[in-house]
Amino acid sequence: MEDPEGGAVLALVADLIFAARVRGAAPVGVAVRTTSRAAQLKEEALMGVPRLILVDLAARDEPVALVAWVRAQPSLLAVPVVAFGSHVDRERLEAARAAGAHRVLARSAFVRELPELFRGNLAG
């Protein structure tokens, strides 16, 4: 399903069950593409500017490096990046913030705020 506004939401997620939860929280008509591979997310981000990028810091595929890569791409500078991870992994949460994530949330807060994150970052 394509997003009529153009640009999908791209998400690096650690597991398939959580990926389904992220897709299920999206507003009707918003395409959410999930992957566990940073290389795939990068490829899709360069093919068409996404509207939002979500990064699970529990992903094995160097999620903090992915945040830094997104921030280094001139075509992606305006794309909001939201990183989320375990509340006890403060080092990784801070590393994502330092790498340029717009918002960094504990996983529980991310789940709770996901519908609002979609509304706030996909409006207009």
* Tens digit of each residue's pLDDT (9 = 90 or more) over 68-123: 999 999 999 999 999 999 999 899 999 999 999 999 999 999 999 999 888 877 65
Residue with tokens 């939002």, as numbered in its chain: 52
What CATH number does residue 72 fall under?
Answer: 3.40.50.2300
Q: Is residue 38 included in any domain, yes or no?
A: yes
123 located within any domain: no
Q: Does the residue 20 lie in any domain?
A: yes
The tens digit of pLDDT for each residue in 49-75 reads 899 999 999 999 899 999 999 999 999
Task: Decide if pLDDT at 4 tops 50.
Answer: no
Mean pLDDT, rounded, for 39-50: 93
Q: What is the span of the domain harbouring residue 42? A: 9-108
SS3 110: helix
